[in-house]
Structure 1
Amino acid sequence: MQPAAQAAPAAGLPVRAGEERWTDAELAEVRTMLEEEMATLREQIAAAESAIAEGDSSDGAGDDQADAGAKTYEREHEMSLANNARDLHDQNERAVLRMDAGTYGVCESCSQPIGKARLQAVPRATMCIPCKAREERR
């Protein structure tokens, strides 16, 4: 990931008609939030991977079916949490990279502005509301 100093100027990022241009302070605030969330997600991933590894160390000898089932469920739950955290981390990282490239706020589907208000609410958004709604209906 590139340092913030190499980021594209905030004023050059696209916005929808009627929206104010991004300020450097607003973009820095969103970026800081994304980076802090990425740090938290890395900790969650490490904790989940540790829990999975600890579960692998027990051989399960002597477990009855209920114990084995509970262990399997717990392992799958930890794997699911780790995968979800990885997905969110990757989405946040992509958002920061789009900031650096000057493409933050461009819908990946229609190439129109996503909207500043949407990005402030969902900073990792990659699509404008109409395109996202169309995708979810499929």
Structure 2
Amino acid sequence: MDGTAGPKDRNPTAEAPRATRTGTRRASATGRKISPATAKRLPVRQGEGHWTAGELADVRDRLELEMTALRSEIAAAESQIAERMNDVTEGAGDDQADAGAKTFEREHEMALTYNARDLLAQNERAVDRIGQGTYGVCESCGQPIGKARLQAFPRATLCVICKQREERR
């Protein structure tokens, strides 16, 4: 390993933008604005306030920042894996333990890259759902997921009850 942090060792959302004033229109990292009407149409659980354009833009910005970091991480990892695969001299003369360790390391790097791709796909789906107006709807029961849950875990596709049910299986 080269000592760089993997997807679980870093926090790509640590530099997420701070919340803006409630109800203001704001451009995201990609320059697209979220209208207050779009934000207000998103479902919320009983007792929660409607989404504001600023809150929704913050969530989308956070997802987009993480997507950018994941794309860079994936490209670097794939490049590194390809270099090692093309290096025919690597491992020449190694004993079985060294060869096994290198194989394990390569498979570990490939697993981390796969996980990063999966996170990227989840983030892309969340951004798409924001654009389609279906963000915050549980994919299992169709009920609102909960604004606080989405702010804490913006990739969530299931409400707490359905997620607990899924984890018990």
Could you say which TM-score interval applies, normalised by the shorter chain? over 0.9
2:100 corresponds to 1:69? yes
Unaligned runs of 5+ in 2: 1-29
One-letter identity of the residue aligned with 1:134: R
1:19 to 45, 48, 52: 48
Residue in structure 2 matched with residue 32 of structure 1 by the alignment: 61
One-letter identity of the residue aligned with 1:111: G
Point out the structure with the larger helix share: 1
Q: Tell me how far apart the structure 1 counterparts of residues 136 and 163 of structure 2 sit (CA, whole Å).
A: 14
Pairing 1:1-138 to 2, within 5 Å after superposition: 4-5=32-33, 9-59=38-88, 60-138=91-169
Report if aligned partners of 2:34, 2:53 keep a CA contact under 8 Å in 1.
no
TM, length-normalised to structure 1: 0.93
**Superimposed CA distance per residue, residues 117-137 of structure 1 (whole angstroms, 9 cap, x where no aligned partner):** 100000000000000000000
**Superimposed CA distance per residue, residues 27-53 of structure 1 (whole angstroms, 9 cap, x where no aligned partner):** 000000000000000011111111211
**Superimposed CA distance per residue, residues 65-115 of structure 1 (whole angstroms, 9 cap, x where no aligned partner):** 122112101110110110000000000000000000000000000000000
Percent identical among aligned pairs is 68
Number of residue pairs matched by the alignment: 137
User: Which of structure 1's runs of 4+ aligned residues deviate more than 4 A?
Assistant: 5-8
What RMSD in Å do the two structures reach over aligned CA positions?
A: 1.7
TM, length-normalised to structure 2: 0.77
Unaligned runs of 5+ in 1: none
